[in-house]
Amino acid sequence: PNGMLVVREVGLTEYLELLSLRVLLEGEAASLAATRAPAAVLARIEQGLREQLDPARADPHAEARLDEEIHELVVAHCGNRSLGALITDIHRRLRMRDLSHAPERLVPAREEHLAVVRALQARDADGARRAMVEHLERVRANHLRHAGILPAAPG
């Protein structure tokens, strides 16, 4: 209003709804991207993820860039601009409350991202969907734990 930018906080209920939508939509986008994602880009991302698995080479900034790159790659190569726009909007709205880079998620997320990339490299649409859904379900569970809705993870 009046030319002012208003930033609305995303409440917990909306946040959890957006996470559920993200699982559905981004799983489908990964499936569609399996036949379109450029092999050279996938190889570069895979190399970066493998480097992150080595504690001596792990870099949180590089990790965050790779995370964004994987999800942006899926959106860019799903072949459906409307689907991509929906996912991009969900990412933007979720970023207001993001916990995806929580320390306890770093190692599991690396392996989950590798599973997505390897399925994309294999041009395995079902595998890409499954890997993305499993990854995002774990992200969602982490958010539920942080919100006190699920008990803390064992360990």
Q: How far is CA 109 from CA 10, 13, 84, 113, 120, in A?
A: 24, 24, 22, 6, 16
Q: What is the pLDDT of residues 132-148, one digit of tens each?
A: 999 999 988 888 887 77
For the chain, the domain total comes to 1
Inside any domain, residue 23: yes
**pTM confidence score:** 0.86
Q: What is the pLDDT of residues 92-133, one digit of tens each?
A: 998 866 655 566 677 788 999 999 999 999 999 999 999 999
Cβ 151 vs Cβ 143: under 8 Å: no
Listed residue (91, 96, 82) closest to 136, CA to CA: 91
Q: Which domain holds residue 88?
A: 12-146
Query: 3-class DSSP state for residue 15?
Result: helix
What is the CATH classification number for the domain harbouring 17? Answer: 1.20.120.530
Inside any domain, residue 106: yes
Inside any domain, residue 64: yes
